[in-house]
Structure 1
Amino acid sequence: MFPEVIDNFVTEDNPVRVIDVFVDQLDLLSLGFESVTAKQTGRPGYHPATMLKLYIYGYLNRIQSSRRLEKETHRNVELMWLLERLRPDFKTIADFRKDNGKGIKNVCRKFVDLCRQINMFDDSAFAIDGSKFKAVNNKAKNYTPSKVQFHIDHVESSIQDYLSQMNTNDNDEKDTSSSVSASKLAWYKQRLLELKALEKEVNEHPDKQVSQTDPDARLMKTHHMERQVCYNVQSAVDTKHHLIVAHDIVMTTDRGQLAVVAKQVQQALDKKNITVIADKGYFSRTDIKATQDLGVTASIPQSDTSGSKKKGIFNKSLFKYDKHKDVYICPADEELPHRRNVTDSGLELKVYVNHIACRDCAIRAKCTRSQNEPRKMKRWIYEDDIDVMQKRLDDNPSLSVLRKQTVEHPFGTIKMWMGATHFLMKRKKNVSIEMSLHVLAYNLKRMMTIKGTIGLMEAMRQ
């Protein structure tokens, strides 16, 4: 005879209760959310806690669209319980995400801090990698200098063809195709003006690239060497529980990002002595040195970029370095002593060469193609640190497998949640908000798998 109580439809171990407990124990004002305290006058808006619960639930259940979230508030029993039957419209939902980026990012960091407090990152190494996520920008709306020039050449050629056609048709009064050609010619001339303006914009851009739909997105090579307009998402994942400890959005390649991400991990864990693993795309001597100066133990494999094999001469790896004598031993067992230092691409290098031994060497033809110059070895002044790192990798070949097993899975999971379109918002600022919500949802679901929903709620209340 009594109406059903909506609480009866939500079991005690339902994940929606975890969201409720987590958000209720947050200090939203200190985290940077707007309108936490309602004004004295006017009708109060929706509380940030209500909207945050809605978004966390949406990203946990692969519902990122504000319009779809609005529909769910009308028919989803779990959301009715979580929001206490409140039904914000899609514009209010979308504006909350757009206007509270700082607070959302801080909530993502707060959850990582919660995981740290319950000792989830003890004795863990951290795998770092980047992955390309599609932006809201079609490749056709992205322009580089070569692409703009191609379109200009095509339009100019078409204009010349139409002018020639119109001159031919002028002699035939019965031919009505000239009017059609004239309108088409006018369109081509207008298009040429647009392309000329675009060419100037592209050439003046620092990256020599312009994306018309999302100006911050960049054309990059993906895993299969295809080119897509996207963002490069950096992440650091702990090898023990596969939780995302830190993430970032960049518009460049992975090279040069190692120290930046490692420092973010240190700040998230409030710990200096950490170990990071990355692939060869992160190998940069200056970046590795900067990472080690932070107190981080880095393991990044070195790729062989030497062209010696193609030239048919001895590779640098065949020259053995003697640390005690500070000399290189060449394949002919001759010593190449240190002669001088040079600076190349910002690196201070030591040059090793033996003019006399190289001049009279019987296998000189296999060592260098130059008839006058001897074979030289160059060594970075901090190369000993790289050698120690390489030895650590050689002694632990399983590190590369561990990295793949750790960091690739979260990327694949989040992309599956996103669907084919990946990001829904434009500009780097908004895209970073979206990514923070995805990372928060991933970590939350991961912790529920590890601790269980009831166990996680108990840990949150402590």
Structure 2
Amino acid sequence: MKRFIEGVDRSQTTLFPDCLEDWIDDDNPVRVIDVFVDELDLGDLGFERVVPLWTGRPAYHPSGLLKLYIYGYLNRVQSSRRLEREAGRNVEVMWLTGRLVPDHKTIADFRKDNGRAIRKVCAQFVSLCRALDLFTDACVAIDGAKFKAVNARDRNFTRAKMKRRLEQIEESVARYLDQLDSADRQEPSPARTTKTERLQDKIATLKDEVRRLRALEIEMLATPDQQISLTDPDARSMATSGRGSGMVGYNVQMAVDTEHHLIVTHEVINEGTDRSQLSPMSQKAKTELGTDTLDVVADRGYFNGDEILACDRAGITVTLPKPLTSGVKARGRYGKQDFRYVAEEDVYICPAGECLVYHYTNVEEGRTLRRYWTNVCQSCPIKHLCTTGKERRIARWEHEHVLEAVQQRLDEHPEKMRQRRETVEHPFGTIKSWMGYTHFLMKTLKRVRTEMALHVLAYNLKRVMAIVGIGPLIAAIMAA
């Protein structure tokens, strides 16, 4: 007769192993966490309470709490309350912490009070990856992604949101006043009295809301970016790729190694765009890799002439597409890209074959521009496809050759864009999946950076364990 696989009777006496060590295999990832933290100089990294105080109640050593957090982020357990429960029931955590069960407040305070040191631990592991020769390619892909903050969209205000909200309240008040006028024309009755009182309460509530919003508006307009968030003061409203799908959150920047998909460096900012991040992220990646030259691939959101020039001067080779911001193409006319520059003669050749020669130089918004045009546009048969003015003028930045070199590299290696997408999108998707596609647990930019550093450290740990192996990684950590 067929039977199911049956478990052990709960009342049956069993013989468990004599010690926790017998429960942990040699290739268990917790052994990597244990060795990695034990080899760190926590005092030099800036952790608090590395040396115990002579007075007061004994504290937990920071190494045990750091191990607990690394284990938690490696296993998608980021909440301090859930980590407290794991410490009391999870055999791996018992082995890792020596069966210590700190309360959730102690666990949460450790992450809150040691943010700078935790971020240094993340950078320390990147240095270990460099010692393992995992960054031999000296090529990174840079991208940014929006992560939600602990701040609902209704508790974030910009000038446009505030104006829209006040207009909605005005419309509601006008509608309620019309209903009051209509009720006054009816015969007196208990129902009319109840309705009138209800409408008056609604109008009073809306007027209180207007007063609250007016006070918030004054505070909002006093901020540098004229935006205010009530739950997380550092969170900002940011547009995302989907139309009408903006979020209140943070912009996480990453530079990812193209060979092993390891995160070389990262940063959390509260700016909604990536335009000013190319040079800072590239130079941080170059410093972390310890190389004299670096190849960087990014998307069109990073295109900024000044940032590209800064990278070029720092020995960083950038490849990224240029966005078409001009509307002339949409109107059916030639764009600047349709004009060919001849460096030897310092002229532009227009689509009709005419030469646009240099006339003068001026400065606009701090950029030195050279101006080119020709005087034969009036008789050109395709002038209507080029310009509506007297002649078509072309402006050339004094460092335009740097941008042209970027475009040439992209034309010669179009596969770089696919490489970028396959490289840098993977870590973002993985980390968001580990977070449960939800928001950060902590508030303010400083603490969110700590939380992201733990996510990055866990991601890199898991990647290196898969690439190198647990045994060799432990040996490398102990030898470093």
Q: TM-score range by the shorter chain?
A: over 0.9
Residues 348-377 of structure 1, C-alpha deviations (whole Å, 9 max, x = no match):
11111112x22332322222112xx21011
Match of 2:408 among 378, 391, 394: 391
Question: For residues 321 and 167 of structure 1, what CA distance do their matches in structure 2 show?
Answer: 72
Please say if 1:242 is aligned against 2:256: no
Please say if 1:374 is aligned against 2:374: no
Residues 188-220 of structure 1, C-alpha deviations (whole Å, 9 max, x = no match):
221111111122223232222222111211111
Question: For residues 308 and 280 of structure 1, what CA distance do their matches in structure 2 show?
Answer: 19
1:199 is aligned with what amino acid? E
Q: Which residue of 2 aligns with 1:155?
A: 169
Please say if 1:454 is aligned against 2:471: yes
Residues 312-370 of structure 1, C-alpha deviations (whole Å, 9 max, x = no match):
22222221110100000112211111111122343211111112x22332322222112
Q: Which residue of 1 aligns with 2:438?
A: 421
2:433 is aligned with what amino acid? M
Residue ranges of structure 2 left out of the alignment (5+ in a row): 1-14
Secondary structure of 1:176's match? helix
Q: Retained in 1: the 8 A contact 2:298–2:420?
A: yes
1:179 is aligned with what amino acid? E
Structure 1 stretch displaced more, 192-201 or 169-178: 169-178
1:425 is aligned with what amino acid? M
Question: For residues 132 and 347 of structure 2, what CA distance do their matches in structure 1 show?
Answer: 51
Question: For residues 321 and 441 of structure 2, what CA distance do their matches in structure 1 show?
Answer: 35
Structure 1 stretch displaced more, 313-322 or 258-267: 313-322
Secondary structure of 1:321's match? strand
2:249 is aligned with what amino acid? C
Q: Which residue of 1 aligns with 2:241?
A: 223
Q: Which residue of 2 aligns with 1:311?
A: 331
Q: Retained in 1: the 8 A contact 2:432–2:438?
A: no
Question: For residues 455 and 63 of structure 1, what CA distance do their matches in structure 2 show?
Answer: 26
Secondary structure of 2:330's match? helix
Please say if 1:284 is aligned against 2:304: yes
1:43 is aligned with what amino acid? R
Question: For residues 335 and 19 of structure 1, what CA distance do their matches in structure 2 show?
Answer: 66
Match of 2:70 among 43, 56, 61: 56
Please say if 1:136 is aligned against 2:150: yes
Match of 1:40 among 49, 54, 63: 54
Residues 166-196 of structure 1, C-alpha deviations (whole Å, 9 max, x = no match):
4565675533223323322321221111111
Structure 1 stretch displaced more, 394-403 or 339-348: 339-348
Q: Considering only aligned residues, what root-mean-square deviation do their CA atoms show, in Å?
A: 1.7
How many equivalent residue pairs?
459
Please say if 1:273 is aligned against 2:293: yes
Match of 2:315 among 279, 295, 309: 295
Q: Retained in 1: the 8 A contact 2:138–2:291?
A: no
Secondary structure of 1:308's match? coil
Q: Which residue of 2 aligns with 1:97?
A: 111
Residues 290-319 of structure 1, C-alpha deviations (whole Å, 9 max, x = no match):
111112111121122222222222222221
Question: For residues 165 and 352 of structure 1, what CA distance do their matches in structure 2 show?
Answer: 66
Q: Retained in 2: the 8 A contact 1:330–1:336?
A: yes
2:441 is aligned with what amino acid? L
Residue ranges of structure 1 left out of the alignment (5+ in a row): none
1:411 is aligned with what amino acid? F
Question: For residues 334 and 177 of structure 2, what CA distance do their matches in structure 1 show?
Answer: 61
Q: State percent identity of aligned pairs.
A: 49
Question: For residues 409 and 326 of structure 1, what CA distance do their matches in structure 2 show?
Answer: 44
Question: For residues 184 and 266 of structure 1, what CA distance do their matches in structure 2 show?
Answer: 60
Residues 200-242 of structure 1, C-alpha deviations (whole Å, 9 max, x = no match):
2232322222221112111112232321112110000011111
Q: Which residue of 1 aligns with 2:270?
A: 251
Please say if 1:214 is aligned against 2:232: yes
Match of 2:217 among 199, 205, 210: 199
Flag the 1:40–1:354 CA change in 2: closer, same or farther, 3 A.
same
Q: Retained in 2: the 8 A contact 1:127–1:278?
A: yes
Residues 41-60 of structure 1, C-alpha deviations (whole Å, 9 max, x = no match):
22220000000000000000
